[in-house]
């Protein structure tokens, strides 16, 4: 475990696991507070934890509560976050103030990576990462998630990135920052709702043992920064690409019309998409997160086995 930090509050279960080199998997909380509607969000949060346990790892959902970074949440904490209308979406920028002012904060990919690294957790499961937004030439909207992947030493398991983003530019940005994007049983970048996109990956692996070896080598080389594992949504849960692109493009247009800016952009788009697909996108989102939870837990286990 990493050095003591007065703002870290790690549950006894997670502490014990870290101390004894058991596999631990971090989970974010913005996906709960700003990524999905209630009560689907709390069902998702609990089920993801359950899947990670079933695969033999310990889940650690992360949020900011009562002036602390909580690593591991109770069912009551999850319920509070899922129901809250005023939870703050916390990225790197917001971390210090939300802690200092004792606000309720939900962590994004960026801030979950920071908190996981503080606690000594090496693996983190989510749905999709933030990235370079469409129309970024005008707005300069690039998610802080990409910067974090460039500098913070946590492996993130996701289902690729959503087509609400400019996917080719997101990949270019990651390449510049030195982030390896590894396809898990796929040679192309999955696009969240769909298993494929036009973007060929520089690297893919067929099993979690190879992923674990890559993380291990990266550690030994003391290379800073994250690793991104792109795990496609299961075939049976995937949605039609053209259908989704239509809906996404309309949502992006609406966001411009409604003058949505800054950190409100992604939650706005996610909400629109759920509405426009009458919940179909939500079903797909749940399925891909569960699938990522399984792979993340297996990877954390394979990595710990290499340490012995």
Q: Which residues bind ligand PSU (CB under 6 A)?
A: 28, 30-31, 35, 91, 108-109, 127-128, 130, 143-145, 162, 263, 266, 270
Which listed option, ligand PSU, Mn ion, none, makes contact with residue 108 (CB within 5 to 8 Å by class)?
A: ligand PSU
* Helix, strand, or coil (residue 142): strand
Nearer to ligand PSU, 8 or 144 (CB): 144
Q: 102 labelled as ligand-binding?
A: no
Phi, psi of 212 (to 5 degrees): -60, -40
**Residue among 117, 141, 148, 166 that touches Mn ion (CB under 5 A):** 141
* Helix, strand, or coil (residue 195): coil
Provide the minimum distance between the beta carbon of 199 and Mn ion in the complex, in angstroms, as a whole number.
21
Is 102 among the residues known to form the active site? Answer: no
Provide the minimum distance between the beta carbon of 18 and Mn ion in the complex, in angstroms, as a whole number.
32
Which listed option, Mn ion, ligand PSU, none, makes contact with residue 144 (CB within 5 to 8 Å by class)?
A: ligand PSU
* Helix, strand, or coil (residue 36): coil
Provide the minimum distance between the beta carbon of 66 and Mn ion in the complex, in angstroms, as a whole number.
27
Which listed option, ligand PSU, Mn ion, none, makes contact with residue 194 (CB within 5 to 8 Å by class)?
A: none
CA distance 37 to 158: 20
With beta carbons less than 8 A apart as the criterion, state whether 166 and 132 touch. yes
- Locate the DSSP E strands across 21-152: 24-27, 58-65, 68-71, 88-90, 105-107, 123-125
Nearer to ligand PSU, 167 or 304 (CB): 167
- Closest residue by Cα to residue 90 from 61, 128, 59, 62: 62
Is 261 among the residues known to form the active site? Answer: no
Is the dihedral angle over the CA atoms 37, 43, 49, 52 positive or is it negative? negative
Nearer to Mn ion, 132 or 215 (CB): 132
Task: Supply 120's token pair.
Answer: 């000594």
Residue list, annotated binding site: 89, 109, 141, 143-145
Which are the catalytic amino acids? 28, 162
Task: Give contact residues for Mn ion (rule: CB under 5 A).
Answer: 141
């Amino acid at each position: 475990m990493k050095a003591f930090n007065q703002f870290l509050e790690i549950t006894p279960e997670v502490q014990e696991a870290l101390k004894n080199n058991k596999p631990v998997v971090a989970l974010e909380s913005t996906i709960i507070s700003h990524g999905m509607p209630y009560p689907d969000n709390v069902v998702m949060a609990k089920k993801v934890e359950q899947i990670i346990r079933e695969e033999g790892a310990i889940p650690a959902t992360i949020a900011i509560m009562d002036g602390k970074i909580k690593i591991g949440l109770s069912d009551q904490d999850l319920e509070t976050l899922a129901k809250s209308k005023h939870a703050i979406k916390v990225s790197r920028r917001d971390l210090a103030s939300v802690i200092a002012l004792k606000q309720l904060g939900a962590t994004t990919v960026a801030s979950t990576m920071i908190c996981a690294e503080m606690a000594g957790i090496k693996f983190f499961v989510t749905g999709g990462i933030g990235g370079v937004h469409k129309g970024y030439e005008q707005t300069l909207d690039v998610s802080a998630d990409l910067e974090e992947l460039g500098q913070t030493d946590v492996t993130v398991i996701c289902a690729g990135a959503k087509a609400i983003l400019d996917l080719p530019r997101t990949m270019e940005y990651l390449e510049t920052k030195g982030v390896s994007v590894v396809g898990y049983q796929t040679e192309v970048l999955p696009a969240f709702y769909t298993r494929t996109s036009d973007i060929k990956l520089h690297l893919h692996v067929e099993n979690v043992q190879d992923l674990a070896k890559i993380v291990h080598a990266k550690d030994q080389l003391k290379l800073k920064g994250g690793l991104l594992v792109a795990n496609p949504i299961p075939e049976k849960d995937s949605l039609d690409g053209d259908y989704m692109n239509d809906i996404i493009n309309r949502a992006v247009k609406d966001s411009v019309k409604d003058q949505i800016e800054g950190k409100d952009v992604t939650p706005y788009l996610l909400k629109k998409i759920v509405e426009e697909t009458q919940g179909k996108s939500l079903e797909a989102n749940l399925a891909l997160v569960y699938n990522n939870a399984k792979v993340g837990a297996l990877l954390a286990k394979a990595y710990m086995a290499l340490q012995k």
